[in-house]
Amino acid sequence: MRSLYRIAAGLTAVALVVSGVRAIQQVARAGRYLYTADGNRFYIKGVAYQQQGTIVADASNPTLEPSTYIDSLANGTSCQRDLPYLQQLGVNVIRAYSVDSSLNHDSCMELFSNAGIYAIIDLSLPVNGSIASTSPAWTTNLLDLYLETVNTFAKYDNVLAFNVGNEVITQSNETDAATFVKAAARDVKAYLNSIKSSALIGYAAIDGDASWIVPLANYLSCDPSGSNSGATAIDLYGLNNYEWCGNSSFEAAYAGTEGEFAGYNVPAYFSEFGCITAGTPRPWTEVGAIYSSEMSPDWSGGVAFSYFPATSSQGQFGMVNISSNGSVITGQDFDNLAAQYAQASPPNSPSESSAGSTSYPSCPQQNSTFQASTSLPPTPNLSACTCLENNLDCQFTPTTSNYSSIVGSLLDYGCSLLGQSGGSCNDISANGTSGTYGLVSQCDPTIMLSYVMSEYYSATGDNTQSCSFGGNGTVNTNAKSSPTSVASSCLSTATGTFVPTLPSGVASTTPTGAGSTSGSKSSSGTPIAALDGRIFVGVSVLVATSIVSGILTLL
């Protein structure tokens, strides 16, 4: 019976592709909920769809995060192979954590669209392509990376949302990073609006203590201006929640979470769920609770983790294995989830007409467990940063092509030298707690380094040796002014917000009627090699926000 199902599902998918029929409906946000074009409430019945990259297990990687990635949406053959199984699971959404904007995704995205499956696309990349937890910044290289990914996927009609972060904040003393996540949401949303894309902007949060998780959620969907504007707010909140283990119950696992998020102002879902117990298949009985009348007032479904095998510090996830000949082998986890999803029948309420409009409340106040300021960093300005780079008197000219490996240590060294010379690295620092952002903190780390090198060069009376930095610096004989004067000239007006555009040379794509809209319908693995290498200069080399005795501490 199962094999007949798979054959039928596969033939149906092929027929849709050949005929050109579009099975996907547009999904719109009304108030705190999602609705399809026919007016029905839309619930995410999803699965994480990301083959795991390389994991380096060492003390610096306690959670076993991959250091590389495999773009599962760039392999049409694999997507064709997996589609019947995704259909057997009954999913309507897949979540992809890392994608390569230089590759072609037409086959997978069109195949899934024709099968009625939406995609939630994370914009970040492993290690160097995301906002850091402990030394956060929102810089030109990250903005360009995110926009190029948006641009690649904007033409597909089944993109439900783009996530600007996944578990960036993992504990209360990292909540200052929320200011940078919110700035990313603001700028990517402005770009989406400018190209008339209707995809939602989301964030996937780690679960944690309510003392900071709830304020974080409220902060990401609030309006700092107090004018009920959604310009800086996310459209879709995800919570990676693993509280339900085995055959638990709503009262034991979810009642507290439901109470904490009661009345939350934007659509919310479990962006990951599926607790594992060693040696025991997951029964997935939480599905019945997630899609019940007890949780539907505040939650719009969830994404089960994970279709492919995935190793983590919690253990081994995965519902299928891929054999040596490329075929799919399903496990008991797969069968159990398919059965639970098939039984899920969430309430089709409230009606779209009674859902109202989304409101954006004032932001939560800072306290001992929540540290994010309502003063956000500016939109990173590439032209201003390029102006600065071209006019600095000491420029970073690395002796190695793998310059991302040395930028951090050179910044540390340069800031130490500046501190000893009576200077500081304030101009490249960013502080999400105080809401103060140095003029150069919006530029990518290589430009920050050139600025620090130039500051030290100037402090030592333009001593040529002071620009060397182990042979990685070169004096710019065309420079006419001091570093601070150049920064003031190039960046003094680059302190506000604007609608960002794609980097020079990147062709824009035209949205084809995206899979979702924010607001009501009536209101309208391999690292990327083709992009500017500076995009991948480690965000981990960016500056920390604390300065002691004028010396910037790098993490």
Active site residues: 167, 272
Query: What is the identity of the amino acid at 312?
Result: S
Pairing of β 320-322 and β 328-330: antiparallel
What's the rounded Cα separation, in Å, for the pair 550 and 542? Answer: 17
What's the rounded Cα separation, in Å, for the pair 97 and 49? Answer: 8
CB count within 10 Å of CB 353 equals 10
Residue 99 half-sphere exposure, CB side, CA atoms within 13 Å? Answer: 30
Gap between the terminal Cα atoms of the chain? 56
Query: What is the identity of the amino acid at 148?
Result: E
What is the DSSP code (8-state) at residue 320?
A: E
Structure tokens at 240: 């990676």
Write down how long the chain is: 555
Structure tokens at 327: 């075929």
What's the rounded Cα separation, in Å, for the pair 136 and 541? Answer: 10
CB count within 10 Å of CB 439 equals 22
Nearest Cα neighbor of 442 from 183, 182, 238, 233 is: 183
SS3 545: strand
Nearest Cα neighbor of 514 from 236, 227, 196, 270 is: 196
CB count within 10 Å of CB 63 equals 11
Nearest Cα neighbor of 494 from 443, 431, 433 is: 443
* Alpha-carbon distances, residue 433 vs 177, 369, 378, 406, 505 (angstroms): 8, 12, 15, 28, 36
Region of residue 398 (phi > 0: left; psi between -120 and 50: alpha; otherwise: beta): beta
Q: At what angle do helices 76-89 and 332-343 cross, to 10 degrees?
A: 60
Structure tokens at 412: 């540390």
Region of residue 321 (phi > 0: left; psi between -120 and 50: alpha; otherwise: beta): beta
- Burial call 484-517: b when 16+ CB within 10 Å, e when fewer: bebbeebbeebeeeeebebbeebeebebeebbbb
